[in-house]
Amino acid sequence: MSERLTAVNVAYGKPANQSSTVRGGDARNANDGDLTTLHENRFCTETKTENAPWWQVDLLQPYQVRVVRLLTRGCCGHKPLHDLEIRVSNQSSLQGSRLCAWYPGTLEDGSTKDFECAYPILGRYVYIHMVGGEGSLSLCEVMVFTTNEFSPDRCGNRVEPLELTTFIRKCYEFQGTRGGSFQDASSYCQTHGGLLVHTVDELTLPFISAELERRRDKLKSKLVWMGAQRRTGIGQGKRGWYWVSVDW
């Protein structure tokens, strides 16, 4: 990353998957922002001992992937990672994926290692693949860096960083603990220089769904406000649910 560009971690909080799961080592533990290197059956990922285990993150849209950073497990009782391939693909399958980097050695426990692609690779899915026989893959954090996305730092400083995220060069704030009416939600957004989400398409729907899913345990209600209101008039275009535009 020698260019004077801001690289953003686009893996944080995105949907993750892996070849298998044991001892509380869910795939989502590797991109939750927690840099703890002691697993304790809840902080890192862990697959069963199997042939060529893998971990995958869905970035929800293609990015030019430049660098992938791994944080390995500190201790104890798990064999160090070795013979790793970092792959990028536009398919939710290893087949046809492109090699970003290869590490034929062994990574030290509790260490951070950056894998830089020889050139930026455009892809939606990033894989960590341990090859060369049987083993168990355990990762404490994975970061995927690109220069094709805004940093949340550019979204302003009036909101707690954990509530902010960016997607397709737009800032999103998820407030799941406030409660209130539609007007309360709309006024809050306008006061903070924004609007309720008023367009959802095939790209933004999976993103919003994934963000709400990872915040599920902290939501004050199972229902959240978006920028749509119900019209109850009579006649075409006067009844039903409609997105609220800027000039509504």
Same domain membership, residue 18 and residue 87? yes
Is residue 218 in a domain?
yes
Q: Does residue 3 carry a pLDDT above 50?
A: no
Q: Does residue 246 carry a pLDDT above 60?
A: no
What does pLDDT average to over the chain?
A: 87
Last residue of some domain: 131, 146, 161? 146
Same domain membership, residue 141 and residue 55? yes
Q: Tell me the pLDDT tens digit for each residue of 165-206.
A: 899 988 898 888 877 888 888 888 888 888 888 878 888 989
Q: Name the pLDDT band for 230 (thresholds 50, 70, 90).
A: low
- Kindly list the distances between the CA atom of residue 1 and the CA atoms of 35, 84, 166, 196, 239, in Å, as whole numbers in the listed order: 22, 21, 21, 35, 53
Same domain membership, residue 127 and residue 171? no
Q: Name the pLDDT band for 98 (thresholds 50, 70, 90).
A: very high
Is residue 183 in a domain?
yes
Last residue of some domain: 128, 146, 164? 146
Please say whether the beta carbons of 123 and 58 come within 8 A: no
Same domain membership, residue 162 and residue 140? no
Range of the domain at 165: 152-243
Is residue 3 in a domain?
no
Q: Rounded CA gap, 44 and 25, in Å?
A: 6
Last residue of some domain: 101, 124, 146? 146
Same domain membership, residue 160 and residue 95? no
